[in-house]
Each structure stands twice: as C-alpha cells, then as structure tokens.
Amino acid sequence: MPDDPRQTQEFVSLLTNHQEVIRAYIISQLPGCSEVHDILQEVNFLLWEKRLNFKLGTNFGAWACTVAYYKILDYRKKQKKDGILVFDSDLANLLSTESENKVPEALAAKRDALNFCLKKLSDKDRALLGARYDSAYSDMNQVSQKTGRSLASLRVSLSRLRAGLKDCINQRLGLEGRLV
Amino acid sequence: MIPEHFESYISRALDRDLTLEEFTKFEQELIASPESRALYLEYVDLHTVLDLELNIPASKPGSSTKIVDMNRVLRSQRRKSVKIAAFAAAAICILSLIAMQFYMMDRSPEVVFQSSPGTVFTLTHSKKKSSTESKTMEPGSRLELSEGSVELTFASGVRSIVTAPADITLHTDDTLFIQQGAAWFEVPQKAIGFTVNTDEFHIVDLGTQFGVCVKPDEHDEVHVFKGKVKVHAQGVEKESAILVAGEARTCDLNGRLSVIPARSSAFVTNFLQLPPYLYWSFDESDGFEVKGSHPAAADILSTPSPTDSPPHLAEGKFGSALSLDGNQQSLVTDWAGIYGLDQQLSCALWLRIPEGLELTNYSGIVGWGIPGNSNAKWKVFVRHDSIEEAPTVSVAIGAEQGIHWYEGETRLDDNQWHHIAVVQDGKDTQTGVPEISVYIDGERETITHSSLSLEMERFNSLEEIIRHPATRPLAIGKGPVPQDVTFQGLIDELYIFDGTISQAEIRKLLTQTTTNKR
C-alpha cells in the first residue's frame, strides 16, 4: 500500500472499524487475559508499522489477525513462563483459522443486540456483570469480595447470565435477520 | 463433555478461573470438536461486547492502561515529509481513541483543548460513553503530555495552559487532578469554586489567576497572580491558607505549608501555536541536540566543530547558550535546509555579541546551501564591513537571477541579548523582490534590500541540491561559504520554522519558549 495520505486514511478507517474483531481475536487466543487492552494497542501499533505491507482491497481482518497472531505468541510465551494456563499451539492455530474471517458488522450487530438484552436483566444481575467487567476488579476473588458472593455462586451466576445473554442475542439477531 | 458443563467451562475460562485439570479437559474438547470451538468463539464475541459495554478502564495513575505510544509513532514518522507525518500523527491520535470510537456523545464536552504543534499527548477516557472527538475531556479523562503544551477551555469558562511533562485527570466538571506538570489557570467570576487537586494540595479558587506546579521528587507549589485562592495541604497537619496575588506556598509531606516566592515565570500564560520547528535550547540537559515539532527533528545530528577546539555552552538568555569564539567554531548538522523562494520559513534566536567586536565581515549565524553563485543558498549573518561601521543583522538568499541581500540597521555589538527573527513568506513584493522581514527584539527592523545580478548556477530539486558535492547542510555559527568567518558571541533558543511566524508570535518568543524554561 503506497504511503499517501488518502490511502493512509483508508487504512486508518479499516483499522478503526476492525478494533472489535481484533479484540475478539485476542480474547479467543488468550481467554481470561487481563492485558487485552494493552495487547490490542501493541497490535495496533504493529499494524500501523506494517501498513505498507497491506494491500487495499484484500481481507483486512484476516491480515490483521495474522499480524496479531505473532504478537499474541509473545504474550503466550510470557504467560506460560508466569505459570498461567495457555492454549497449546495446535489449538491456537485452529481457533485462529476459524476466527480470522469475522467481520466488524457482525460484532456491531451483536453489540446492539446486547444492549437490548442487558435491559431485560434484573438490576441485581446487571450489577453482577458490572462488577465482573469493571477493570478495577478483574480478579474473580476481588469480584467475589466486592459482591459479597462466594466464588462458587459467582461462577454459576456468570455462566447462567452469559448463556442467557448469548441466547437472547441470537434470538434478537434472528428476529432482525441480521448477520451473526 | 456435556454441553452445560462445557459452557460453564467457557465462562470460567474467560474469567481465568479453571484449574489445570479443568483447563486440560477444556482444551481437549476444543481440539476435538469444531462445534465446541464455534460455541467458544460465540462466547468470546459475547465477552468482547460485554467488555466494551461494561468495562470502565482504571484511570488511576500508574495503572496498566496503555495507549499507542505517541513518542514511538512520532519517531517512526519523522522520516516522512511534514505532510505525511502530520497526517500520520493525527491518524494515530484516532487510534489512541479507538476504544471510544463506537460511542456517541451524550452532551457537550466539559473541556476542550488545543495543543501546540509538536505536542505529544495521550488521552484516555474512563467513562464508557466518552467523546469520539480527539481533543475533548469529560470527567474521568486523563491527558498525559510528554512534549509541548495544551490550552484547556472548560465549559465553565476556566482557561488553563498546561506544559509538558504533565499528567492530568479531569475528576468532575470543575475539578482537575494534577499528577505532574505546570498548569496556569484563569478562572472567571462565574466559575469561582473551581478546584485543583494534587497529591499534596487541595486548591479552591476564589476568582483569580493562579498556577500549580507538580514535579516528581519536589513538593507541589501553588502560586497566585490575581485574586484569591484557598489552599489546603493534604498531609496529616492539613494546614490551610488563603493566598492573595503575589503569594505562593509549597507544602511538606506532613501537610505543613511553607512560604515561597511567587514565580509567574514558572508558567506559560500565552499559548503558542507555531508551525513545525527545529529547536536548539543549548541547555545543559540538551547540549547541542535539536528538538522540536518538525518531522526531521528526531533524525538531525548536530556536531560541534572543530573537534580539537569545539564550541561550548555558557550562560545564556534562558538556561545556557552556544558560545562561539569566532575562530572557526560552529555547530554543523546533517539537515539539508529549506529551499525555494516560494517556501515559507522563519528563523528566531537570541544572540549576544561582545562589545568592541573585531572585524568579522560576514559571519554566519545560521545558513545552508551551495556556496558560490547558486540559487540554493540561505543565510542569516552579521554584516560588519569595516571597523567603523556597526555590525548589523543581514540575510542573503540565492535566486535565479542573482543574490538578494537584506540588511538591518540596529547595532548589535553591545554585549546585550537581542532577539532576532527572520521571516520569509514565500511571496514577492510588488517590485518582484522576495519578501523577507526581520524583527529585532520583537520590532520590525527597517531593512535595505539590494541585489546583485549574476550568472547563477540553478538547481531545481531538493534531490539535486542534496547530491551536489559542495552542498553544506545547516550550520550554526557560520554560513555555507567555507571561507566565511564564523560567528563570535552567544546564540540561544534557536528556532527554524517550516512556515511563517507573526510578529505577535515573535513577541511571545521574547518571554517564553516552547519548553517553558522561564
């Protein structure tokens, strides 16, 4: 891709539009990782540095995920060294192949649907999800302390809430006939 | 594995809550079943959008929140042209705000800010519904400056100028937390009660102008320039005082206040919006290094010459200055310069020439290009034709038809600091002469133009000029002509701008610099 302002602008637009796709890709490779935001920023920087290698008109998401894969490899090694459980490389490869063709529109639609579904939750359930996704309490023990619930109860509730939200989103998207 | 168990495992994996044994089972299931992988990826999507909707990033200083490193980006861009680099920097600004890009603004921002050229900042928001605009702050927004300065304008009418290095967070509509930095505030009557917090101070404005200085390893300071301010120390003693104009306090870790002299010079009160520039401060901390907002700044090498008797740093107008003995000392760079009479460019510096200067002929202050009769030559120099005549500032530029000279009339050899600015606006006067303006100490200098028609060697492209073996890159303390005598005296706060600067901006440079060293 030539480094002229118009094409650079197009690149930035693609990169901006694919943020959720890249974020989801990172999470799929490193589930439970608390440094997703940091990794995403590093991947963004790497993509920016490699922008001249990208051919406009080709699949940006797939290219970005390939670039991200190598950055994630570094993190996986680091996590492994720190004693954190990480996927083995065969599984990481499989997941990478199966998730690299996601399109931004699908995630945007899911996000819209999520907003609808969140409104259907009770205040208590929303508060629980809020506590879990508040970055100040990323560790489950902290969430447990904050919410005053046991770890076992938290696990069950979060699993139930996620399953319910997943179904609700699918139903909502099915109703709207939107891309999943 | 039965589906319910597997879904529970996914949920727990996303919470990093699986034991080794459970994780192994989970992995095996994922490897064995494409349906399980699809389900897992579906949950990952859910987790991603939940995180985006519900996550409130920690905004505490020193938290792990990390934004694209603007320094790295700018460094990587400085090899490109000004236009590309400026765009790229803007693009990365967008990237640093990517996390917020899908949110819509609910209301007008509490604070808008503008940055001076070359300012390197990162902006993070802690609220999920933050602005997509790149230069707005709302409660929870954190702004970190590593270079340059910003002017903040609050919805309440409060105005503030913050200079780097700085780290500020907007806590509420009218409360700002300063982790680091020098910040000057102007608070209108309607915004009385505006509050600034630091680790050591709680400062409530009572309608005034004041400054707050927070530096690592030093105690915080409050300086009042107009009106009144109430200060409370945060330590155990929690001393408090109402300060009036001309008063300043620092406080110790125990919360006791101490009187210090009020220093307006510690703060920038005029916001400078300058074109891209190269800047030599000649301060001890920088030495001969060039800084500035120009994309070339990161790559330029400034080498003192000659090596066996190089120039040194001496007391300057602000900080230290480049001291040149007039005996071949200079600073030689590897920057080609700016060519073409249709180009806008400016140069500003302080200089001090000793009294009783010996005859120096045409000693260069700054200059670059191909010596001889070429159209690729630009220099500012001291013209000193005879011992009876006053040394004055002059400019010589090469044109297609000959050489243009512009000579000032202010005598400079009085051992006093004088501020010199030269502005080339890229246009011709009505008489077809390239327009050059010279300012001395902020006043427009009366200049005499003369030209010499010569058979000129013409160069039409920068590449052609750079390739020419006789080309001299930017030198400080001498011009591009090797046999010219070198400058004798002191040079400080040298700027070369890739554009024009106004008289008002030149006057601001008399009292402040882009690095706020006053």
Q: Among B115-124, B214-223, B282-291, B495-504, where is mean pLDDT lowest?
A: B115-124
Is the pLDDT higher at A168 or at B515?
A168
Measured between CB atoms, which of A102, A129, A155 is closest to B12? A155
Over the stretch B166-216, which tens digit does the pLDDT of each residue have?
999 998 888 999 999 999 999 988 888 899 999 889 999 887 899 999 988
Report pTM. 0.48
List phi, psi (to 5°) of B316.
-115, -170
Asked if B54 and A130 come within 8 Å (Cβ–Cβ), the reply is yes
Provide the pLDDT confidence category of residue A52 given band limits of 50, 70 and 90: confident
Measured between CB atoms, which of B37, B57, B80 is closest to A135? B57
Nearest residue of chain A to residue B80 (CA atoms): A3
Q: Which residues pair with B448 in a beta bridge?
A: B407
Residue B292's pLDDT is: 79
Mean pLDDT of all residues in chain B? 82
Q: Nearest CA of chain A to the CA of B328: how many Å?
A: 42
Nearest residue of chain B to residue A88 (CA atoms): B27
Maximal CA-CA distance, chain B? 103
Q: What is the ipTM of this complex?
A: 0.94
Measured between CB atoms, which of A41, A84, A111 is closest to B53? A111
Q: Nearest CA of chain A to the CA of B429: how many Å?
A: 34
Task: Look at residue B88 and tell me whether its pLDDT is greater than 50.
Answer: no
The mean pLDDT value for B222-250 works out to: 90
Residue A175's pLDDT is: 60
Provide the pLDDT confidence category of residue A136 given band limits of 50, 70 and 90: low
Summary count for chain B: helices (H), strands (E): 7, 29
Contacts of A38 in chain B (CB under 8 A): 64, 66
SS3 label, residue A143: helix
Residue in this structure with the two tokens 């609220």, named with its chain if needed: B127
Task: Look at residue A177 and tell me whether its pLDDT is greater than 60.
Answer: no
d(CA B150, CA B162): 5
| Amino acid of residue B409 | E
Measured between CB atoms, which of B11, B51, B80 is closest to A162? B11
Q: Is B46 exposed, middle or buried (0-12, 13-18, 19+ CB in 10 A)?
A: buried
Task: Tally A–B CB contacts below 8 A.
Answer: 173
Task: Look at residue B322 and tell me whether its pLDDT is greater than 90.
Answer: yes
Over the stretch A81-112, which tens digit does the pLDDT of each residue have?
888 888 988 999 999 988 877 888 889 889 98
Asked if B8 and A41 come within 8 Å (Cβ–Cβ), the reply is no
Provide the pLDDT confidence category of residue B134 given band limits of 50, 70 and 90: low
CA distances for B52 relative to A114, A137, B95, B171, angstroms: 11, 15, 16, 22
Asked if B18 and A8 come within 8 Å (Cβ–Cβ), the reply is no
Residue A163's pLDDT is: 94
Residue A13's pLDDT is: 82
Asked if B16 and A31 come within 8 Å (Cβ–Cβ), the reply is yes
Residue B74's pLDDT is: 35
Contacts of B48 in chain A (CB under 8 A): 20, 23-24, 27, 107
d(CA B88, CA A55): 18
Asked if A158 and B47 come within 8 Å (Cβ–Cβ), the reply is no
d(CA B36, CA B42): 10
| Amino acid of residue B80 | K
For chain B, give the percent of residues with pLDDT over 70: 85
Q: Among A107-116, B14-23, B239-248, B295-304, where is mean pLDDT lowest?
A: B295-304
Asked if A118 and B53 come within 8 Å (Cβ–Cβ), the reply is yes
Q: Among B104-118, B208-222, B238-252, B283-297, where is mean pLDDT lowest?
A: B104-118
Mutant choice from A135, A142, A151, A179 vs B, greatest count of B C-beta within 10 A: A135
d(CA B422, CA B408): 11
The mean pLDDT value for A124-132 works out to: 90
Task: Look at residue B236 and tell me whether its pLDDT is greater than 50.
Answer: yes
Residue B127's pLDDT is: 58
The mean pLDDT value for A139-164 works out to: 89
List phi, psi (to 5°) of B264.
-70, -25
Give ∠ CA B511-B153-B136 in degrees, rounded to 5.
120
Q: Among A56-65, B403-412, B503-512, where is mean pLDDT lowest?
A: B503-512
Is the pLDDT higher at B349 or at B483?
B349
Nearest residue of chain B to residue A109 (CA atoms): B49
d(CA B282, CA B295): 20
Residue B215 and residue B221 in contact, taking contact as beta carbons nearer than 8 Å: no
Residue A176's pLDDT is: 52
Contacts of B41 in chain A (CB under 8 A): 28, 95, 98-99
Which tokens go with A5? 């302002």
Residue B393's pLDDT is: 94
Task: Look at residue B75 and tell me whether its pLDDT is greater than 80.
Answer: no
Task: Look at residue B66 and tell me whether its pLDDT is greater than 70.
Answer: no
CA distances for B202 relative to B210, B258, B334, angstroms: 13, 15, 49
Contacts of A140 in chain B (CB under 8 A): 15-17
The mean pLDDT value for B389-396 works out to: 90
Asked if B68 and A155 come within 8 Å (Cβ–Cβ), the reply is no
Provide the pLDDT confidence category of residue B50 given band limits of 50, 70 and 90: very high
